[in-house]
Amino acid sequence: MTPLRRVLLTASSVWLALAGVASSLTGMRQQGSIESYPRLTPILTVKGETFPSLINVTIDDLSAGLESGLFTSVDLVKTYVARIMEVNDTLHAVIEINPDALAIAADLDAKRASGKNLGPLHGIPILIKNNIATKDKMDNTAGSWSLLGAKVPEDSMMAKKLRQAGAIILGKSNLSQWANYRSSNSSNGWSAHGGQVYGAYYPSMDPSGSSSGSGVSSALGLALAALGTETSGSIVSPSQNGNLVGIKPTVGLTSRYLVIPISEHQDTVGPMARTVKDAAYILQAIAGYDPKDNYTKAIPHCGKIPNYLAALDKDGLKGARIGIPYNILPTSNSTEMVAYYNAIEVMKAAGATIVAANFLNGSASTSSIVLQADFVSNLASYLAELTYNPNNVKSLADVQKFTQSFALEEYPNRDTATWDSSLALGYNNSDGRFWAGLQQNYYAGGEAGLLGAIERNQVDTIILPTSRAAGRAAIVGAPIVTVPLGFYPNGTTVVRTSRGLVTTAPNFPFGLSFLGGKFTEATLIKLAYAFEQKTMVRNKVQPFLVPTTELGDIVGF
Ligand SMILES: *[C@@H]1O[C@H](CO)[C@@H](O)[C@H](O)[C@H]1NC(C)=O
Ligand SMILES: *[C@@H]1O[C@H](CO)[C@@H](O)[C@H](O)[C@H]1NC(C)=O
Ligand SMILES: *[C@@H]1O[C@H](CO)[C@@H](O)[C@H](O)[C@H]1NC(C)=O
Ligand SMILES: *[C@@H]1O[C@H](CO)[C@@H](O)[C@H](O)[C@H]1NC(C)=O
Ligand SMILES: *[C@@H]1O[C@H](CO)[C@@H](O)[C@H](O)[C@H]1NC(C)=O
Ligand SMILES: *[C@@H]1O[C@H](CO)[C@@H](O)[C@H](O)[C@H]1NC(C)=O
Ligand SMILES: *[C@@H]1O[C@H](CO)[C@@H](O)[C@H](O)[C@H]1NC(C)=O
Ligand SMILES: *[C@@H]1O[C@H](CO)[C@@H](O)[C@H](O)[C@H]1NC(C)=O
Ligand SMILES: CC(=O)N[C@H]1CO[C@H](CO)[C@@H](O)[C@@H]1O
C-alpha cells in the first residue's frame, strides 16, 4: 500500500465511521450506551519502530522521540492536524489551525538538528484558547463575529512565552463565546463563530466551559495540551469533563496582556493537560512577570518562579495537612461524593493528615458587581489595544449592539443578559460602589472562606470535588489544581439540557480539586502529582470517539 493511500484510507474510514456514529446517534442516546461505537486500530508500529500513542503521550515521550529522530516536529504537526480534521465535523473543538505551524515546526526541527534546544517544550504542538491573541495569521475573537479580522499590536505574553519555550502554537481552540460572559441562555462550548463544541466522553456531551475546545483537544490528543483561561471555573470545569489535569494559577502568576478579558480581578491563564507533570512543564514556561500586566508584580520572591518540576514527588502526600471543609460538603452520597471520600482514604494511606477546615460561612456571599464592572472597563481597555478594529467596537455597548443585530450571533435565541446587567449597573470598576462589591468578595473568599480556612487550620490545601471548587477560589484569585477522580458508571441516568447537551451520563469523568493560598502552585502540584500517581484514574475511562491517525501513519512517508 502506498503511503498516501494509507493515510487517505485511514482518513476515509474515519469519515465513514463518523458518519456511522452520526446516523446511529438517536439509537445510541436511547440505549445510553457507549459500547457499540466503532473503534479503528491505530498504526503504532512501522518497520519495527514503535510510536507513542497520541491519545496518552507525554511531553517526555515526545521529547525523547524528537531527540532520537524517531519523528520530527513536522511529523507531529501533520499528525495532529489530521486528528483535528477527523473530529472537526463532530466535536468542533478547534476553531482555526495555524497556517504557519508547519513552517514553525520545520524551523524548530532545524534548530534541534543544529544542537539548539529551547527546553522541554521544544517542538511540541500546543493549542491556545481563542481569546489569547497572537500577532500572526490567526484571529482572536472569543468566538464573536465582531472581532473577526481584528489585529493586535503584538503577541500576547502567553503566546510570546510559549514561542520562547519552543512550543508550536498549533491553532486556536473553540470556547464558550466571550468566555461564557454574554448570555443567560446560551450553552457551554457554543460560540457564534466557532459553533457548538461537544465533549469526548459521550455523544453530545456538554464539554463544560468556557475553555471547552481546549479540554476536548487535550483529552483526545489533538495537540499535546492546550491553554485555557479561567474567571470562575473555565479551566477546572472543562478539565474535569475531559478527564484532565487543569491548573488554574493564582491571578497574577500568568500575564493577561492581550487576552480578551472578563475581569482583571479574577482572570488567569493556565494549562490543561493529561498529566500533572505536563501541566507543570507548561506552567513553568508561561508563568512570570510582565510589565504589561501589573498584577504579575505580586509574584513573591521578586518574581522568581519556583521549579514546579522539582515539586513532583510521588510520596508528596506524606506529612501533608489536607483540609476538608465538612460544612460546605453536600450530604448526599452521590457517585462523586463517594469517590471524594475514597480519595480522602487514599491520602490518609499515603501518610497525609486529614484536618477539618470549615468555612465560616457555608453559603459564600459573593458579588456579581465585580465581574460586571470589571468587564465594562477591561473590555474597553482590550478593544483600545487593537491596531485594526474592523467593526469599530470600542465598548461593551458597541459589542452588545453588534451582537444583537448580526444574525449569526443568534440573538435573541441566545440573549445578552449578562451584558445587559453589566451595562445596567451604570458604572465601571473606577467607581466607589465597585469597591464595596470587591471587599464583599474578599471577605467571602478570605476570612469567611477559602483563605481563612487554610490559615486557621494551617493546612497545605483544601480539597473539594471539582464541581464545587471554582467559585470559592475565583473571588480571591487563589489557585486550583484539578486531577481526574472518577467517572459515572453504567446505568447512570442521562440528563440533557434544553439545548440537547448531555450533562450527566455513564462514562462522564469528574475531578478532584486541590485549592490553596495565593502562589502556592508548587505545593498543589506536589500533592496533586502524588495523588495522581497513586490513583491513575485517567486510564480507567476512555473517550467514546478517538481520532485514529497516529505518527505511524505519517512518519517516513
Ligand atoms: C497509552 O495507551 C496505550 C494503549 O492503550 C497503553 O499501552 C499505554 O500503556 C498507555 N500509556 C500510558 C503512559 O498511559
Ligand atoms: C471543519 O469542517 C467544516 C465543515 O463542517 C469546514 O467548513 C471546515 O473547513 C473544517 N475545518 C478545517 C480546519 O478545515
Ligand atoms: C496597572 O496597569 C493598568 C493598565 O495597564 C493601569 O491602569 C494601572 O494604573 C496600573 N496600576 C498600577 C498600580 O501600576
Ligand atoms: C452516606 O453513606 C454513609 C456510609 O457510607 C452513611 O452513613 C450515610 O448515612 C449516607 N448518607 C446518605 C445521605 O445517604
Ligand atoms: C453568610 O452568607 C450569607 C448569604 O450570602 C449572608 O447573608 C450572611 O450575612 C453571611 N454571614 C456571615 C457571618 O458573613
Ligand atoms: C470608567 O468610568 C469613568 C467615569 O465614568 C470614566 O471616566 C472612564 O473612562 C471609564 N473607564 C473605562 C475603561 O470605561
Ligand atoms: C433566550 O432568552 C431570550 C430573552 O429572554 C428569549 O427571547 C429566547 O427565546 C431565549 N431562548 C431560548 C432558547 O429559550
Ligand atoms: C458497562 O457495560 C458494558 C456492557 O454494556 C460492559 O462491557 C462494561 O464493562 C461496563 N463498564 C463498567 C465500568 O462496568
Ligand atoms: C478548525 C475547525 O474545526 N473549525 C470549525 C469549528 O466549528 C465550526 C462549525 O461549528 C466550523 O465552521 C469550523 O470550521
User: Residue 21 pLDDT > 80, yes or no?
Assistant: no
Q: Which residues line ligand 7 (CB under 6 A)?
A: 185, 412-413, 415
36 lines ligand 8 (CB under 6 A): no
Q: What is the pLDDT of residue 212?
A: 95
Give dist(CA 527, CA 550) in Å, integer.
33
Which pTM does this prediction carry?
Answer: 0.91
Residues 128-153, mean pLDDT to the nearest whole number: 97
Residue that is written with C-alpha cell 453504567 in the block: 490
Best residue for ligand 1 mutational test, from 39, 51, 56, 58 (most atoms within 8 Å of Cβ) = 56
Average pLDDT over the chain, rounded to whole? 91
Residue 359's pLDDT is 96
Interval 309-326 mean pLDDT? 98
pLDDT above 50 for 2: no
Question: In the predicted model, is pLDDT for residue 44 greater than 50?
Answer: yes
Q: Could you write out the DSSP letters of every residue in 473-505?
A: HHTTT--EEEEEEEEPPTTPPPEE-TTS-EEE-
Question: How far, in Å, from the CA of 313 to the mean position of ligand 3?
Answer: 38
Cβ of residue 439 lying under 6 Å from some atom of ligand 1: no
Q: State which amino acid sits at residue 528.
A: A
Identify which of 85, 87, 88 to mutate to test ligand 9's pocket (most ligand atoms within 8 A of the CB).
88
Name which of 214, 212, 280 is nearest 247 in CA terms: 280
Ligand 3 center to 258 CA (angstroms): 15
What is the average pLDDT across 350-357?
Answer: 98
* Ligand 4 nearest-atom number relative to CA 332: 13
pLDDT at 78 over 70: yes
Residue listed under C-alpha cell 469597591: 435
Q: What is the pLDDT of residues 254-270, one digit of tens each?
A: 999 999 999 999 999 99
Please state, as a whole number, how many other Cβ atoms lie within 10 Å of the Cβ of residue 6.
16
pLDDT in tens, 463-518: 999 999 999 999 999 999 999 999 999 999 999 999 999 999 999 999 999 999 99
Summarize pLDDT for 193-213 with one digit per residue, the tens.
889 999 999 999 999 999 999
Question: Predicted confidence band at 519 (pLDDT cuts at 50, 70, 90)?
Answer: very high
Average pLDDT on 12-38 reads 32
Spacing, Cα 79 to ligand 6 middle (Å)? 48
Query: In 3D, which of 458, 457, 380 has the Cα closest to residue 422?
Result: 380
Q: What pLDDT, on the 0 to 100 scale, is given for residue 124?
A: 98
Least confident of 33-47, 166-180, 215-229, 492-506: 33-47
Nearest CA to ligand 4 atom 6: 333
Residue 448 beta carbon below 6 angstroms from any ligand 5 atom: yes
Cα(395)–Cα(417) distance, rounded to whole angstroms?
16
Listing DSSP states for 403-451 in one string gives HHH-GGG-TTTS--HHHHHHHHH---TTSHHHHHHHHHHHHHHTTTSHH
> Average pLDDT for residues 139-164, to the nearest whole number?
98
What b/e sequence results for 520-542 when a residue is b if at least 16 CB atoms lie within 10 Å of its CB, and e otherwise?
A: bbbbbbbbbbbbbbbbebbeebb
* pLDDT the model gives residue 161: 98
41 has pLDDT over 90: no
pLDDT at 48: 81
CA distance 321 to 181: 36
Higher pLDDT, 279 or 90: 279
pLDDT at 366: 78
Nearest CA to ligand 7 atom 11: 413
* Residue 28 confidence (pLDDT): 27
Which residues make beta-bridge pairs with 45? 50
User: Which residue is closest in CA terms to ligand 5's atom 9?
Assistant: 365
| Helix axes of 73-91 and 59-68: crossing angle, nearest 10 degrees | 140
Question: Could you tell me the CA-to-CA distances from 212 to 197, 236, 241, 293, 405 in Å, in that order?
Answer: 7, 10, 9, 25, 26
**Ligand 2 center to residue 95 CA distance, Å?**
9
pLDDT band with cut points at 50, 70 and 90 for residue 24: very low
pLDDT of 4 strictly over 90: no
Is there an atom of ligand 6 within 6 Å of 422 CB? no
22/17 Cα distance (integer angstroms): 9
**pLDDT bucket at 557, cuts 50 / 70 / 90:** low
Q: Does position 16 have pLDDT exceeding 70, yes or no?
A: no
Catalytic residues: 129, 210, 234
Asked if residue 85 has pLDDT above 90, the reply is yes
**Ligand 8 contact via 345 beta carbon (within 6 Å):** no
| Each residue's pLDDT tens digit, 366-392 | 789 999 999 999 999 999 999 999 999
| Ligand 4 proximity of 331 Cβ (cutoff 6 Å) | yes
pLDDT at 245 over 60: yes
What average pLDDT does range 439-464 have in this prediction? Answer: 97
Greater confidence (557 vs 406) lies with 406
Closest ligand 2 atom to the C-alpha of 88? 1
